[in-house]
Structure formats: C-alpha cells, structure tokens
C-alpha cells in the first residue's frame, strides 16, 4: 500500500499540572528528572477513598511513566521507511522510462537486417532493465510488508509498555494505601501512648503524695517512673516512625518531604462485605487481570512470533515460555487463595476481638459502679480498666488488619499480587 509521509514527531513530553488533594495552597518545584513536584504551603488533607486518585494524578514516577507511554504512542515507524520508499520509487520510475525509450527506439529500427546487431543489443538492455524493474518492484512490495510488520510490532510494543506502566502505577497506589493504613495505625498507637503517659503522670503525682505520707513504699514510685521512662522512649520511637511514614506518603502522593499530611478515619470493612465474597468468581477475575500471567503470556507470544518469522528454527523457546506461563498461573492461584484465607482469618480475629471488647466493657462498667460504692479496691478497678483498654487496642488493631487484608484482596482481583502479599 502507499504510505503517507508523516510530519516529524514532537519530542516533548507531557508535564501535566498537578492538582493537590482538597485544593491545598501549593507551589511547584521541578526535580532533577524534569518532573513537577508539589510543595503545599498549607496542610494537605487526604482521605482513603480518594487516595488512589491523588496518587495517580500527582505521583512523580507515574507521571514519568505516562510520558513514556505517550512517547511510545507518538512514535511513527513509517518515518524510517520514507527514504527507502522514495529511492525505490525513483528507481522504478527510471527503469520504466528507460525501457519505454528503448522500446520506442527498437520499434523505429524496424526489421532491416542491417540493424539486427543493434536490435539484439537493445533487446538485451531492455531485458536487463526489466529484471531490474521487477527486482525494484519486489523490493517495494517487500518494503510495504516490512512496514506493516513494523507497525504491528510497534503496536504490540506500545500495548506492552502501557500494560507495564499501568502495573507499576497500580503497585504504587497499593503501596500508598498500605502506607496510609500504617500511618493511621501508628498515630492511634501514638495517641494511646500519650494517654498512658498522662495517666502515669497522674499516678506518679498521687503516689508521690502517698510516699510523703508514708502510705506506700518508694519502690512503687520508682516502678511507675520506670514505666513512664519506657513510655516516653516508646513515644519518641513512634513519633519518628510517624514522621517517616508521613514523608513516604507525601512522596507517594507527589508532594515534597516535610509536607504536612492530615489523614481521615479509615473505612470500616463489614462482616457482610467479607461473607458476600465469591471466591471462584474473584479468582477468575484475578487470573484474567494478573500482570504476572500477562507478562508470561507476552513472552510466550514473542517466542511464537519469532518462530513464525524464522528468527528461530525450533519451538523450544515457545514450549519453555508456555511451561513458565502455566507455572505462573498455578503460583498466582496459590497466592490468591492465601489472600482469601488470610482475609477470612482476619475477619474471625476481629469477631473474637469484638466479643472480648464487649465483655471487657461490661466488666469495666460493673467495676466502675463497684469502685464508686467502695465494694472493690482501686487495684481491682485499675485491672478492669487495663483489660478494657487492652481490648479496645486489640479491636482497633484487628480492624486495621482486616482492612489491610480486604484491600490487598481487592487489588489482587485487579491483577496486582506483589511479592509482599
């Protein structure tokens, strides 16, 4: 087929404007790779349900990958064939013109015996030119086929690149959501630690007075002070971890380190959401969307194409790729089953934690009344309070674990099963 000579390709990459979450006041900076990062001048408010959208819009790596895909999509392989088409067209036109002129001269010579030698020479030249013309036309047709093959290969390359970049973006989004969940859990633990320190401060003040009055020994005070020192050290460690997770989340969302991040409450996974899961349906979806399986199938198709295009004369590469693909399917199935089992276990653990919390709350409520009426000692009351507090912390941890398992399972359905899952 005839090819349309395309205009030169633009080498510029897209640099999309960054829109921060919740329209926080921002300024932008360009990093070493030329990709824009957002520097908010006000705290950025993030919600879990909008986090993926924010990451996909702002993350530096995702934007760079999108530029890679855009560049691949804009590549026109026919540009490489334009000069060859032009040269062959010139040759064909030249051969046709020479043949026509020689045929005209040959006809003008007539059948006179005196011109027999010249006619023979002209006929020989015409024959050579006709062979050259046929060869040039064949090369033109082959070039046409080569261009078709190159365009098909380019289309496959673009599709493969797009799928690679999509998977990379998915993994970044999943990682950001895990960071968000971890950050919320860490902040809860930090708040609990702060409350413990405040409670210890009150207890220490009380015991100090009791020591002065001779109502209790100094060892009790020292024990409380040691507990406080341990809690303060734990708070310092947790604060450092919260800062590190906050910076990690900021970077994943396309912001600079040091950005103030405000997170909202985590979503609650209900028992109905877990019990309504159709494992077989979800497994089929996960296998269909799995990037790991896709990559193995791509290698298998490449090996098949190489054999068909005579790049290799054996099917060994294809057969090996097929075995690799089948093994990946089994591995993905096993991994997905593990995620499903883990989700069920986390739901069972939460149900148990809820039951323990309900019982601890009842016990504490009764203890409050009994302590107020002087029916139990302060130690018994404190034990009930500690049990209730521990049950609350256990329930929160179980709820966070369930959310993590459920979220990971949902991403696996979308084809993202990372090594960490």
Alpha-helical (H) ranges within 213-278 are: 218-252, 271-275
Q: What local confidence, expressed as pLDDT, does residue 89 receive?
A: 82
What is the tens place of the pLDDT at every residue in 360-372? 999 999 999 999 9
How far is residue 306 CA from its own chain's centroid? 30
Cα dihedral 409, 410, 414, 419 sign: negative
The confidence score (pLDDT) of residue 29 equals 57
Q: Tell me the pTM.
A: 0.75
Give me the domains of the chain, ranges plus CATH numbers.
269-421 (1.20.1600.10)
Max Cα separation, the chain? Answer: 147
Question: What is the Cα–Cα distance from 127 to 118, expressed in whole angstroms?
Answer: 14
224 and 203 Cβ atoms separated by less than 8 Å:
yes
Span of 217-231, 257-271, 305-319 with lowest mean pLDDT: 305-319
Asked if 5 and 82 touch (Cβ cutoff 8 Å), the reply is yes
- Place 14 in a pLDDT band, splitting at 50, 70 and 90: very low
Mean pLDDT of 137-163: 79
18: its two tokens: 């960054």
Query: Per-residue confidence at 291, pLDDT binned at 50, 70, 90?
Result: very high
- By the 8 A CB rule, do 336 and 293 touch? no
């Amino acid at each position: 087929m005839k090819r349309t000579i395309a205009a030169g390709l633009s080498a510029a990459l897209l640099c999309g404007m960054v829109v921060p979450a919740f329209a926080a006041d921002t300024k932008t900076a360009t990093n070493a790779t030329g990709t824009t990062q957002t520097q908010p001048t006000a705290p950025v408010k993030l919600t879990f349900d909008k986090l993926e959208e924010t990451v996909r819009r702002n993350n530096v790596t995702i934007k760079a990958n999108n530029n890679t895909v855009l560049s691949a999509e804009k590549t026109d392989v026919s540009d490489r064939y334009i000069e060859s088409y032009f040269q062959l067209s010139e040759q064909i036109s030249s051969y046709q013109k020479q043949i026509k002129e020689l045929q005209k001269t040959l006809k003008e010579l007539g059948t006179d015996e005196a011109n027999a030698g010249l006619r023979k020479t002209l006929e020989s030249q015409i024959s050579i030119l006709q062979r050259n013309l046929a060869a040039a036309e064949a090369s033109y047709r082959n070039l046409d086929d080569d261009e078709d093959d190159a365009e098909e290969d380019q289309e496959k390359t673009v599709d493969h690149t797009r799928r690679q970049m999509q998977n990379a973006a998915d993994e970044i989004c999943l990682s950001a959501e895990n960071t968000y969940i971890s950050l919320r859990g860490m902040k809860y633990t930090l708040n609990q630690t702060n409350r413990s320190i405040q409670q210890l401060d009150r207890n220490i003040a009380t015991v100090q007075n009791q020591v002065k009055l001779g109502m209790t020994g100094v060892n009790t005070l020292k024990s409380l002070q040691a507990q406080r020192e341990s809690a303060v050290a734990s708070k310092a460690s947790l604060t450092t971890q919260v800062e590190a997770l906050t910076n990690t989340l900021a970077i994943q969302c396309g912001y600079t380190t040091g950005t103030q991040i405000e997170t909202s409450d985590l979503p609650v996974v209900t028992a109905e959401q877990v019990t309504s899961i159709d494992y077989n349906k979800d497994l089929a979806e996960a296998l269909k969307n799995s990037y790991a399986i896709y990559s193995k199938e791509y290698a298998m198709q490449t090996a098949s194409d190489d054999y068909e295009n005579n790049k290799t004369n054996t099917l060994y590469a294809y057969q090996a790729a097929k075995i690799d693909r089948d093994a990946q399917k089994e591995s993905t199935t096993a991994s997905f089953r593990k995620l499903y089992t883990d989700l069920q276990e986390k739901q069972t653990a939460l149900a148990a934690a809820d039951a323990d919390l309900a019982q601890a709350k009842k016990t504490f409520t009764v203890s409050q009344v009994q302590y107020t009426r002087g029916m139990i000692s302060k130690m018994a009351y404190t034990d009930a309070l500690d049990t209730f507090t521990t049950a609350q912390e256990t329930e929160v941890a179980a709820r966070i674990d369930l959310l993590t398992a459920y979220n990971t399972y949902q991403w696996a359905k979308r084809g993202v099963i990372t090594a960490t899952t």
